[in-house]
């Protein structure tokens, strides 16, 4: 009986984490007021590669996260679960954020500022973010 209760709580916690991660990615895609299909595809691929969802469930997660992102007004809510993960996971999130930003080959001040704030909240050093930014920027040339 107790296993069922704890299992449901654990599944709910994992689902909530996945929604928060996805909401952060969507927020980054929307910050320039141009949420494109290219950005959606980057997010979908990233969610599958991070093992946060399956290809069958990715659309459902995206819909839930879009709703969550629209209702929220703070990135702190999105980052609080992410920062509990390993530095490797957090660096992957930063890389995905830069891929979203450079999906249109341009980084504006709002996008750069968002990533700087997210890195601070995730305890990702500026140097690491800068290296990731260069890697992503060079890969699109």
Q: Residue 106: which domain range?
A: 2-139
Check residue 15 and give its pLDDT: 60
- The pLDDT assigned to 2 comes to 45
Q: b/e map of 65-83 (b: 16 or more CB within 10 Å)? A: bbebbeeeeebeebbebbe
Q: Is the pLDDT of residue 87 over 60?
A: yes
User: Residue 61 has which token pair?
Assistant: 């997660």
What pLDDT band is residue 141 in, cutting at 50, 70 and 90? low
At residue 58, the pLDDT reads 94
Q: Return the closest-CA partner of residue 26 out of 45, 39, 17.
A: 39
How far is the C-alpha of 55 from the C-alpha of 39, rounded, in Å?
A: 16
Residue 27: its H or E element: helix 2-30
Reported pTM: 0.86
Model pLDDT for residues 88-124, shown as the tens digit of each residue: 999 999 999 999 999 988 889 999 999 999 999 999 9
Number of domains in the chain: 1
| Residue pLDDT, tens place only, 25-64 | 999 999 998 899 999 999 999 999 998 888 899 999 999 9
pLDDT digits (tens, 9 = 90+) for 60-82: 999 999 999 999 888 998 999 89
Look up the CATH number of the domain holding residue 81. Answer: 1.10.3680
Across the chain, the runs of DSSP E, i.e. the strands, are none
Pairwise CA distance, residues 67 & 71, whole Å: 6
C-alpha dist (Å) from residue 56 to 23, 43, 60, 79: 19, 14, 8, 25
- The whole-number pLDDT of residue 91 equals 97
Distance CA 47, CA 96 (A): 10
């Amino acid at each position: 009986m107790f296993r069922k209760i704890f299992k449901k709580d654990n599944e709910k916690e994992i689902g909530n984490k996945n929604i928060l991660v996805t909401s952060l990615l969507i927020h980054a895609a929307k910050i320039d007021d141009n949420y494109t299909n290219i950005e959606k595809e980057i997010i979908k691929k990233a969610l599958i590669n991070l093992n946060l969802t399956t290809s069958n469930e990715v659309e459902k997660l995206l819909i839930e996260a879009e709703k969550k992102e629209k209702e929220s007004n703070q990135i702190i809510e999105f980052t609080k679960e992410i920062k509990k993960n390993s530095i490797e996971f957090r660096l992957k999130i930063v890389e995905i954020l830069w891929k979203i930003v450079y999906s249109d080959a341009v980084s504006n001040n709002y996008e750069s500022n968002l990533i700087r704030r997210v890195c601070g909240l995730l305890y990702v050093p500026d140097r690491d973010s800068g290296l990731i930014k260069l890697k992503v920027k060079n890969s699109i040339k």
